[in-house]
Amino acid sequence: GFGYVLKAPKSITHRKYLVDAEEEIKNFSRSCALLEDRLEVILLQVAPGTPYDLERLQKALLAFHEPGKVAVEFRHSRWFTPETESLLQRLGATFCNADSPRQKLTKILTSNRAYLRLHGRKRWYSHNYSSEELQEIADVARELAGRGAERVYIFFNNDFEGYAPANALALLELLR
């Protein structure tokens, strides 16, 4: 049951802002394909400075070998539109529900996978989630599964002070 989740290079997402990145995405995608059936998901983090441009996003997603294995994390709320959700649904791509000081956790589901990325609520990367917050996250995961997510990926990115392992174990207990 072990699989890999990879993150698209910053050169694609934060330097090129997805513009003219198709060749680089194809090269990265070919490397990812070496993992064969062990490749679960590729995270495409859209930088906060990326202008809202659905055509740009669509070109980038279509450059991946399997757009349906891509989860997209938007770092700016301008992307939270029905049109964005519709594009992801058409391509089978996954909306990454992020939890951060700037973004409240959502329940958006655009494919048969759900992806939760937990950065921390009060401080980026070093927030110790409370029992109540972990229960809320567990409830969101269950709801997404109930709405059709066959797999729910949950990643803690609150590791600066070592909170991620303990939070992950506590969440695992809540989900059992």
Question: Are the C-beta atoms of residues 2 and 40 closer than 8 Å to each other?
Answer: no
Q: What is the mean pLDDT of the chain?
A: 96
pLDDT number for residue 28 = 98
Q: What is the mean pLDDT of residues 148-152?
A: 98
Cα gap 61→63, rounded to integer Å: 5
Could you count the other beta carbons within 10 Å of the beta carbon of residue 158?
A: 24
Element (H, E) at 153: strand 151-156
Nearest Cα residue to 86 out of 74, 77, 95: 95
| Cβ partners under 8 Å of residue 5, min gap 6 | 40, 41, 42, 43, 153, 155
Taken in order 130, 135, 136, 137, the sign of the CA dihedral is: positive
Q: What is the mean pLDDT of residues 9-14?
A: 97
- Amino acid (1-letter code) at residue 60: A
pLDDT number for residue 111 = 98
- For residue 160, pLDDT over 90 is answered with no
- φ and ψ at residue 117, rounded to 5 degrees: -120, 115
Question: Are the C-beta atoms of residues 51 and 18 closer than 8 Å to each other?
Answer: no
pLDDT number for residue 1 = 82
What predicted TM-score, i.e. pTM, was given to this entire model? 0.95
Of residues 1 and 43, the one with the higher pLDDT is: 43
Question: Are the C-beta atoms of residues 108 and 148 closer than 8 Å to each other?
Answer: no
Question: Are the C-beta atoms of residues 67 and 47 closer than 8 Å to each other?
Answer: no
- For residue 82, pLDDT over 90 is answered with yes
- φ and ψ at residue 56, rounded to 5 degrees: -60, -45
- φ and ψ at residue 84, rounded to 5 degrees: -65, -45
pLDDT number for residue 47 = 97
Question: Are the C-beta atoms of residues 93 and 8 closer than 8 Å to each other?
Answer: no
Question: Residue 77 corresponds to which tokens in the numbers above?
Answer: 């709320």
pLDDT in tens, 42-65: 999 999 999 999 999 999 999 999
- φ and ψ at residue 51, rounded to 5 degrees: -65, 150
